[in-house]
Structure 1
Amino acid sequence: MTKADSPVGDGAGAPPAGDLDRQAGQPGTLDWDASGPGRLAVRGDWTLAHHARLRAQLGRVPQGKVGVLALQDLAAIDTAGAALLAEAVGPDKLAQWVDADPHLDPARRALLGTVARAATVVAEAAVPRREGACRELLGRIGRAAEVVWNHVISLFGFIGLTLQALVATAFRPRRWRLTATVAQIDQTGLDAVPIIALLTFMVGAVVAFLGATVLREFGATLYTVDLVGFAFLREFAVLLTAILMAGRTASAFTAQIGSMKANEEIDAIRAQGLDPINLLVLPRVMALLISLPLLTFLAMLTGIAGGMAVCAVSLDIPPAMFLGILRENLGVGHFLVGMVKAPVFAFVIAVIGCLEGFKVSGSAQSVGEHTTSSVVQCIFVVILLDALAALFFMEMGW
């Protein structure tokens, strides 16, 4: 077999017949001459069979000191031997010497060049890139912005699906799921009455205490009544109720739907030809659209009651006088400003809670992560919408 015809994996580029008889089966060796530029001469078979012994010999060759690589006496070589050479002399230098050697067999040149290029790619991938602090910060900001953008796109898409299902179902009474809706009203509305009433009563008392403390210095403690009524009718009642419902109800929606997703119950619903939006989302959305405005009205009453109690105890303002001042100084417009925001907050909370439930991947950890994300997103969106609404109503003079 001639040198050009021998396959690469079986000793590519073997010497001519005379040399083959002389070197066939000869174990691979090397000679290292440290004088001058550093000459490394390889001989014999550099194959997998002699890999361990050749690696031990290469351990005596200083890294990066090879200036000349002599391949004239190389008998046979495979990918294992080529990888050893690339490791000893460096993949870049090996590729340069292979390309510059005019006497090298084409098959052997192809093998050595391929191994050298592969070793170069592996070496570059193994070296971690050290990025500057500014670049890393910008990268994190970009990734965070991308995550937020994807959340916004998915939220608007899910809102569209929910509105489409709501419109399609509104004119078909047979498709209304009254039992599921009533059950959700009981869970999201009636069960939340104690915590809403207690919290808003205490917040109303705190607002009255703060108002009395500040206004007493100006001799205007009577305006504490206006402060409590104005704060709860326009802002505090609906905002506190929405935040509580975000933490209580949105998390429940996410956990319920997420558990169904993990147990493949949603796939079973689709397999039966049913729409999960109609079956799971619409009853929850409708229930919250009914419950949250009613809870907001309750929060207004209990918050004002808390302020009235403080005024009666600390400021000597009896309840009849308190209610009379409210009726004279605060119009019904303030009540409407607070109530008009309640359905918007209810829809957003219900949609985000259900959407995060559908995003659950199937594990208990995923359920917990998306439940937390649901609460955080709902509170953030509620406060953002409330701030925008406050600016809008202020500019409109309402």
Structure 2
Amino acid sequence: MADDIRPPHALSCDTTGEGLRLSGDLTVWTLPELPAQAGRLDLSGLTRLDTAGAWEIARRQQAGAQIDGLSPGHARLLDVVTAALPRPDPQSPPETGMRVWFANIGVSVAGFGAQMAELAEYFGRFLASVGRAIRHPSEFRLTSLVYHCQETGLRAVPIVSLMAFLIGIVLAFQGATQLKQFGAEIFVVDLISISLLRELGILMTAIVVAGRTASALTASIGSMKMQEEIDAMRTLGLDPDMVLLLPRVLALVLMLPILGLVANIAGLVGGGLMSWITLGISPSMFTGRLVADTSIWHAVVGLSKAPVFALVIGIIGVRGGMKVGNDAASLGAMTSTAVVQAIFAVIVLDAIFSIFFSEIGI
């Protein structure tokens, strides 16, 4: 059927010493008759040339073949087709030495900037969700908030209390060992109270919560994304920020100060117990020294960091879950990444807070 509608085309290919001499029609119909390899093409005998033939000539010319004998009309067509051919990417210089070092630094800085922009985006989405919940209280999921308060707060009390209790014991033991040399054993109370209330209590609590909760947030939201549950929420008209982001982050913001207070109390109990055993400082003496010489501002400074730590941990965990792909490998990778980023962010923020409070004299 195709032979009946094909126009009569003919292409003659004569081999010369340096290549081929073509005569006749070089069109889409005769293109299969053109030999694959030829270093030089003499086209002075062509009577007809279409776009397909010009594309083949341009491709061979780009590969290094020599083209001769084109008529002016055919040359104009070849120029148009050649201009439309894709150009190969220029070869980049070999990456060695300082070039590789600077390239890696640039990639790292660009990646860090992109991550900061994404975290700022999720922070803005959290604030927008809070504003929406205030304007439309019926959309706020109180049951979800209570559930996540239990998961992130109540269930973390045993591990946080044990951790703080042991830290108080270690501080008292190490402080007693050093202060005995100067006969200043009583100052171990100040050492324990200030270090726990101001720094270690809330810092260690935030690190424990970052390792425990950031991974849980990333894993739970990531598994929902893998199973397309988040897409199903959008299909049903539910806002993932109101359903997933707001309850989880708000629960952390509410519960981390309470966990910090629990850690402070447990740490003081552990420090007081060890002081009683090693230094003979009775509980009444320990309590009296604590109340008389330790300012309440140390506890205020420590607990004031908790909402900021909670906000950062929650946003990093939720963002990690939203970044999970469709495979289990990405879920594991983003979970570990979220934990590392949350712990690192908590430590950096604590250092910034320490410098800030020191500069303003608190």
Match of 1:51 among 12, 35, 49: 35
- Measure, in 2, the Cα distance between the counterparts of 1:272 and 1:44: 66
- Measure, in 2, the Cα distance between the counterparts of 1:115 and 1:169: 60
**Higher-RCO chain (CA-CA 8 Å, sequence separation at least 6):** 2
Identity in percent: 39
Matches within 5 A, 1:346-357: 346-357=310-321
Residue matched to 1:223 = 187
Cα offset, 1:151, TM superposition: 1.9
Question: What's the secondary structure of 1:317's corresponding residue?
Answer: coil
Q: Does 2:89 match 1:105?
A: no
Contact in 2 for aligned 1:86/1:119 (Cα 8 Å)? no
Give the length in aligned residue pairs: 344
Q: Does 2:325 match 1:361?
A: yes
Question: What's the secondary structure of 1:311's corresponding residue?
Answer: helix
1:303-348: CA deviation from partner (whole Å, max 9, x where unpaired) = 2222223322333333332222222221111111111111221222
Cα offset, 1:254, TM superposition: 1.7
Contact in 2 for aligned 1:42/1:73 (Cα 8 Å)? no
- Measure, in 2, the Cα distance between the counterparts of 1:343 and 1:42: 80
Question: What's the secondary structure of 1:51's corresponding residue?
Answer: coil
Contact in 2 for aligned 1:86/1:115 (Cα 8 Å)? no
- Measure, in 2, the Cα distance between the counterparts of 1:245 and 1:29: 80
Cα offset, 1:202, TM superposition: 1.8
Gaps of 5+ in 2: 1-6
2:156 maps to a residue whose letter is: A
Contact in 2 for aligned 1:83/1:115 (Cα 8 Å)? no
- Measure, in 2, the Cα distance between the counterparts of 1:200 and 1:359: 33
Cα offset, 1:367, TM superposition: 2.4
Residue matched to 1:29 = 15
- Shifted more, 168-177 versus 315-324: the winner is 168-177
Match of 2:197 among 224, 227, 233: 233
1:116–1:285 distance in 2 versus 1, CA, 3 Å: closer
Contact in 1 for aligned 2:22/2:43 (Cα 8 Å)? no
Aligned residues: CA RMSD: 3.3
1:330–1:322 distance in 2 versus 1, CA, 3 Å: same
Larger Rg: 1
Cα offset, 1:253, TM superposition: 1.4
1:29 maps to a residue whose letter is: T
Match of 2:283 among 319, 338, 357: 319
1:70-90: CA deviation from partner (whole Å, max 9, x where unpaired) = 848887995667766765xx3
When normalised by structure 2's length, the TM-score is 0.81
Cα offset, 1:156, TM superposition: 1.9
- Measure, in 2, the Cα distance between the counterparts of 1:258 and 1:306: 39
Residue matched to 1:192 = 156
1:79-122: CA deviation from partner (whole Å, max 9, x where unpaired) = 667766765xx36xx4xxx5xx6x54346656877898899944
Residue matched to 1:301 = 265
Q: Does 2:132 match 1:146?
A: no
- Measure, in 1, the Cα distance between the counterparts of 2:20 and 2:232: 68
- Measure, in 1, the Cα distance between the counterparts of 2:286 and 2:177: 18
Q: Does 2:257 match 1:257?
A: no
Contact in 2 for aligned 1:260/1:266 (Cα 8 Å)? yes
Question: What's the secondary structure of 2:245's corresponding residue?
Answer: helix
Residue matched to 1:179 = 143
1:379 maps to a residue whose letter is: I
1:184–1:279 distance in 2 versus 1, CA, 3 Å: same
1:118-167: CA deviation from partner (whole Å, max 9, x where unpaired) = 99944x65x56413432332222222222222222222222222122213
Matches within 5 A, 1:367-378: 367-378=331-342
Gaps of 5+ in 1: 1-6, 12-23, 32-39, 59-68
Question: What's the secondary structure of 2:157's corresponding residue?
Answer: helix
Question: What's the secondary structure of 1:258's corresponding residue?
Answer: helix
1:374–1:106 distance in 2 versus 1, CA, 3 Å: same
Contact in 2 for aligned 1:228/1:307 (Cα 8 Å)? yes
Residue matched to 1:214 = 178
Question: What's the secondary structure of 2:275's corresponding residue?
Answer: helix
- Measure, in 1, the Cα distance between the counterparts of 2:34 and 2:70: 22
1:368 maps to a residue whose letter is: G
- Shifted more, 386-395 versus 169-178: the winner is 169-178
Question: What's the secondary structure of 1:372's corresponding residue?
Answer: helix
1:385 maps to a residue whose letter is: L
Contact in 2 for aligned 1:166/1:282 (Cα 8 Å)? yes
Matches within 5 A, 1:121-136: 121-122=87-88, 127=91, 129-136=93-100
Question: What's the secondary structure of 1:360's corresponding residue?
Answer: coil
- Measure, in 2, the Cα distance between the counterparts of 1:348 and 1:70: 68
Cα offset, 1:363, TM superposition: 2.9
